[in-house]
Structure 1
């Protein structure tokens, strides 16, 4: 991990564990085990540190989306399912039971909102971009949006441990399977295809 990434990761950990009010350059330098001058070399101000958090979050989540998409077949709903998998089964999911990338989004958004709401603008643009992809994924746009909102809801429920019965075990698997099925257009499901074939034979 580069020194820059180490500093950002330390900032994220500090926010999650102690709150955004503790986000100061001195505390981050302490957590990252670098000198104040070393931190300032990469991030000359707190605003630039927060901007770095937001940019890194978006970059890493995009990577997870691309990695998930590469495992899925071409066709309608592919992008929506990739968003689902990146959000809830990202490559760091085994560390905490949910995707640390999404934890990074939480930390970055909290830091940006508490520092200067203008720093949230890249995050807003990223969400608008992700939503535009879902709107043009070959699914009903409302269905794709419902999947995205359900993903966000499950993630927040997991993050704040609001309901462990939903977030673990068989119930979570069932929710994931239902959301994955929603990412497939109805007329391309095996049952729908069998129904079409039966109607053709009549």
Structure 2
């Protein structure tokens, strides 16, 4: 069972994520989060004494959600060969459909803290290691990973983002690639 402090912390992080997704990083202020979450600023400061720690907390929170979903997709795939590659495709698809929430926290952390950026990179490498040992051609897994990275950055940075239908077509092609390699 979650404690009240954990519930409040999650409320703060969900609110911060929503503010950034609906606006941008500049809209993320401690006052805005407290007001939108319906808590006192003192209650917010108890959990996150400053904006930098709030953004780091947001990055950690989103990364934990990513890892939980990645694991869930992989463990629920009954076909052993390529299951972690498909898990990465599915978690990316889910994330892209929900405004690429993963990148909100990851970009925030990278900008603020090189050590956090290294932590994120190291954790992502553990995901990539699962792809290397996935039973499909490692080059195919790498191409799939890079295509997914491209979808993220295109959408997040608004660099010629694809239409939703084309994104779905790309995802379906990547899934086929992960299956045909087995």
Pairwise TM-score range, normalised by the shorter structure: 0.7 to 0.9
* Structure 1 residue 56, shift from structure 2 partner: 1.0
Structure 1 range deviating more: 176-185 or 51-60: 176-185
Distance in 1 between residues matched to 2:127 and 2:106, nearest whole Å: 16
1:131 and 2:136 equivalent?
Answer: no
Partner of 2:3: none
Aligned counterpart in structure 1 of residue 160 of structure 2, from 159, 162, 171:
162
Unaligned ranges ≥5, structure 2 = 1-5
Structure-2 residue corresponding to 1:195: none
Give the SS at the match of 2:78: coil
Alignment: residue pair count: 176
The structural deviation recorded for 1:143 is 1.0
In the alignment, does 2:34 pair up with 1:36?
Answer: no
Please give the alpha-carbon distance, in whole angstroms, between the structure 2 residues aligned to 1:114 and 1:79: 29
1:108 corresponds in structure 2 to: 105
| Structure 1 residue 163: Cα displacement | 4.5
Say whether the 8 Å CA contact 1:50–1:119 is kept in structure 2.
no
Q: How far off its partner does 1:182 sit?
A: 1.2
1:82 shift after superposition:
0.8
Offset, 1:10: 1.5
CA contact (8 A) 2:20 2:27 kept: yes
Match of 1:180 among 166, 175, 178: 175
1:127-186, CA deviations, whole angstroms, 9 ceiling, x for partnerless residues?
Answer: 111111111111221210111111222234445383454x22xx4443222111211253
- Corresponding position of 1:18: 23
Deviations 1:99-124 (A, max 9, x none): 45xx2222112322343333323211
The match for 1:147 is: 144
Aligned to 2:76: 71
Report how far residue 18 of structure 1 moved.
3.0
Whether 1:53 aligns to 2:71 is: no
TM-superposed CA distance for 1:76, in Å, is 1.8
Separation of aligned partners in 2, 1:20 and 1:163: 20
Q: Pairwise CA RMSD of aligned residues?
A: 2.4
- DSSP-derived class of the 1:183 partner: helix
Please tell me whether Structure 1 or Structure 2 has the larger radius of gyration of its CA atoms: 1
